[in-house]
Amino acid sequence: MHFIWAINVLFKRQIIMKFLSEYRDPVLAKQILEEITRTVTKPWKIMEVCGGQTHSLVKNGILSVLPKEITMVHGPGCPVCVTPLHLIDKAIHLAVKNGVILCSYGDMIRVPGSKKSLLEAKAQGADIRILYSPLEAVNIAKENPDKEVVFFAVGFETTAPANALSVLHAHKLGLTNYAILSSHVLVPPAIEAIMSDEETLIDGVLAAGHVCTIMGMKEYYPLAEKFKIPIVVTGFEPLDILQGILMTVKQLEEGRFEVENQYVRVVKETGNKNAKEVINEVFKVQDQFWRGIDVIPNSGWGIKEAFKDFDAEHKFPLDLVVAEENKECIAGMIMKGLKKPVECQHFGKKCNPQNPLGAPMVSSEGACAAYYNFAGV
Amino acid sequence: MQLQCPMPKFDFDFITLGHGSGGLLTNQLLDSGVFDVLSNEKLDKRHDGAFLDIKGKIAFSTDSFVISPIFFPGGNIGELAVNGTVNDVAMCGAIPKYLSLSFILEEGLPMTEFWEILVSIKNACDDAGVIVVTGDTKVVDKGKGDKIFINTTGIGEVHPKANIDIDNVKKGDKIIVSNQIATHGISILSVRQGLEFETTIESDTANLNHSIISLLDDFGNDIHLFRDPTRGGLSSTLNEIARDSQLGIVLEEQNLPIDTQVRSACEILGLDPLYTANEGVFIAVVSEDKAEDIVAKMKSFENCKHASIIGEVIDDHPKKVVITNTMGGKRVVSMQVGEQLPRIC
């Protein structure tokens, strides 16, 4: 219940809005925008890695006010979009066939599997619960000793500490009816894969602020050096993103390629030591399949042998026949920044949020859904 | 003065299947419960239906209430069921007069909870100036309902000065929202199982008919449309207005009235206040030159203190709702697909 506890503390201190309004100040935003416009002289393509940043770009209408020289390319940082199809099928199977209480983050439940989504499985009677924290799932396991409880633990480095903590917590409580269905992906290997692609035209990168909050900045120096690109660790509020873009444009115009930190109020050079320890205790680095992209070497976290009893894939061995991805969907090209959603022939026609052909049209962090909402302004 | 009825002595502490059998237990529940509390000249006839006195054009609306939890900060399902239908009738520019009231009760519902809901219904009816004239009670097996479902249907007389019609909406009209948005949705979330957080946010469930009638008395024809943006939030209702009028709507983000705590909760929970449910809130689409006067009048009502002009009707981007923020950024506010789902990060 750490999440709820944190909310209550913030509510009591009435400090939430202070933090929000400060980073949405329209006067400051206009000043930064003007500075970007004054600084930029050439066309630049900047990739924002994180889906949360894509969401903020669209929600705050930043795309519509940036100077025309700057093209934002939307990166692969949408956890919903890159979770492999077969894992969604497994989650559905566990809930429908094994009678498991399947707990999930909210926007995962609408993503299409081979045949249906978790939302449709829920409508057909499966016990699927939307939670904000995996620790709530541990509580559900504690309260339902006669039922198996599985948390669909997806996400980037940001969700990994809480997911790992839930395993440690369940272990400490001696629970044998809790497991996680894990799909954790890592940002730096994904940047490496995208930048190594010959077709990539990306000039600079806004790194994901919350990922770096956990992991620190160390992993990004070799990337900036190898690919000669500026990498700016950036937050999520409008002023954060505008400042991140400004810092990137300044580096590009000056011919620099350094790792800089826009999100200094949250991100420390070394990251969060405790969170990294928890992750290292439970997870080990492994090759990982990214939906719509491919297998990227050393780009995921799997559950260590010592905690295999908490690994749903070990606990409930499933040999599912997995249907192929919908061939009409060009999600991979979109997530690598090679195509814009509007360049897909099915965008807004055959593929829309009610009938998504692929995952990027589902989550509000997905580039296609973001563009769908933005289109036509 | 609100009704403070002590609960009469029932033979059972819980609703049983027998209470829906139509036999002795049903009659006992109705006699010393429903009829007693809601008593009025028309209901007391206890006929199969009611005979009503209505003048002129009639407005007619129905709604079902399945909210969970049934008790929430600021109200319960009973007053929601009255206010919801009263407000739907009022949105037609009508004076709500009569309600039907149907209960579907789940076996095992504590009698004390049923009683509390019934008393709330009576109080909400008195506040709104309506009476329940007919109704029904059914009981379903345990597990086949969620404690209590309520359906209400309302009938009202259309105000002589009202001319509420989507076809009256035209370019240049101003869009007014009557009070702070998203309050009800967040108050419900704050007590949902697994998500309890401490706030002072209370649902704004309330009748709106007195405010509506007063506005029609003063501004009649200058009010082109009233709508009640409940489920689906402001976005769904505004999209419906844009779609049905074949015109565009542009909103100013900074003019949306939202309580600070509600806004904070939305941020933390990853929800958008434009898509979050409202109860005691209405939208008015009004003539451009009267908009300021209408807002000034609304602010004198207790339930419209935060009334604000939030946007206008334009002929650009027909059938689309677009919101602009203080930076000049724009985005489309699309109709919500399914339930609003919190984002992962």
pLDDT digits (tens, 9 = 90+) for A73-102: 888 888 888 888 889 999 999 999 888 999
Summarize pLDDT for B288-330 with one digit per residue, the tens: 999 999 999 999 999 999 999 999 999 999 999 999 988 778 8
Query: Do B304 and B190 reside in the same domain of the chain?
Result: yes
Percentage of residues in chain A having pLDDT higher than 70: 92
Within this chain, do residues B122 and B213 fall inside the same structural domain, yes or no? Answer: no
- What domain range includes position B121? 17-158
Residue of A nearest to B329 (CA): A61
- Please indicate whether, in this complex, the C-beta atoms of A65 and B269 are within 8 angstroms of each other: no
**B254 in a structural domain:** yes
Q: Do A4 and B195 touch (CB under 8 A)?
A: yes
- Nearest Cβ partner for A61 among B261, B265, B327: B327
- Chain B nearest-CA distance from A73, in A, is 18
Tell me, yes or no, whether B302 lies in a domain: yes
Which segments of A193-312 are extended strands (E)?
A: 204-208, 231-234, 259-261, 283-289, 295-303
> What is the predicted pLDDT for the residue at B9?
72
Q: Is A1's pLDDT higher than 50? A: no
Instruction: Please answer yes or no on whether A374 and B338 come within 8 Å at the CB atom.
Output: no
B137 and B29 in a common domain: yes
Give residue-wise pLDDT tens across range B194-207.
Answer: 666 667 788 889 99
Each residue's pLDDT tens digit, B219-231: 999 999 999 999 8
- The residue of chain B with its CA nearest to that of A352 is B337
More confident residue, A187 or B32: A187
pLDDT above 80 (res A368): yes
Listed residues B99, B124, B158: the one ending a domain: B158
Residue contact A17–B342, C-beta within 8 A: no
How is B151-178 classified by DSSP, letter by letter?
Answer: EEEEEEEEPTT----GGG--TT-EEEE-
The token duo for A3 is 């999440």
Q: Give A271-321 pLDDT, tens digit per residue.
A: 999 999 999 999 999 999 998 888 999 999 999 999 999 999 999 987 766
Q: How far is B112 from chain A (nearest CA, A)?
A: 27
Whether B181 and B315 map to the same domain: the answer is: yes
Residue of B186, B251, B271, B344 to mutate, testing the A interface (most A Cβ within 10 Å of its Cβ): B344
Angle at A57 between CA A293 and CA A196, to 5 degrees: 30
- Regarding pTM above 0.90, the answer is no
Q: Which residues of A touch B327 (CB under 8 A)?
A: 26, 29-30, 33, 60-62, 65, 238
In a domain, B338, yes or no: no
- Say if the Cβ atoms of B198 and A107 lie within 8 Å: no
Contact yes or no for B326 and A26 at CB 8 A: yes
Query: What CATH number should be reported for the domain holding residue B107?
Result: 3.30.1330.10
Contact call for residues A262 and A234 (beta carbons, < 8 A): yes
Q: How many domains does chain B have?
A: 2
Q: Would you state the pLDDT for residue B332?
A: 87
Nearest to A55 by CA among B271, B319, B326: B271
What is the pLDDT at residue A19? 66
Q: What is the pLDDT of residues B129-172, one digit of tens each?
A: 999 999 999 999 999 999 999 999 999 999 999 999 999 999 99
Is residue B91 scored above 90 in pLDDT? yes
Task: State the best of A107, A116, A245 to mutate against chain B, taking most chain B CBs within 10 Å.
Answer: A107
- With an 8 Å Cβ cutoff, are B329 and A61 in contact? yes
The mean pLDDT value of chain A amounts to: 89
Kindly report the CATH number assigned to the domain that includes residue B239.
Answer: 3.90.650.10
Same domain, B152 and B210: no
Residue type, B345: C
Q: What are the percentages of helix, strand and coil residues in chain B, rounded to 5?
A: 35, 25, 40
pLDDT category, A217, cuts 50, 70, 90?
A: very high
Tell me, what's the pLDDT at A59?
Answer: 82
- According to the model, what pLDDT value does residue B343 have? 60
Domains and CATH numbers, chain A: 28-377 (3.40.50.11740)
Q: Is the ipTM of this complex over 0.85?
A: no
- Which residue among B100, B123, B158 closes a domain? B158
Find chain B residues with C-beta within 8 A of A158's C-beta. 345
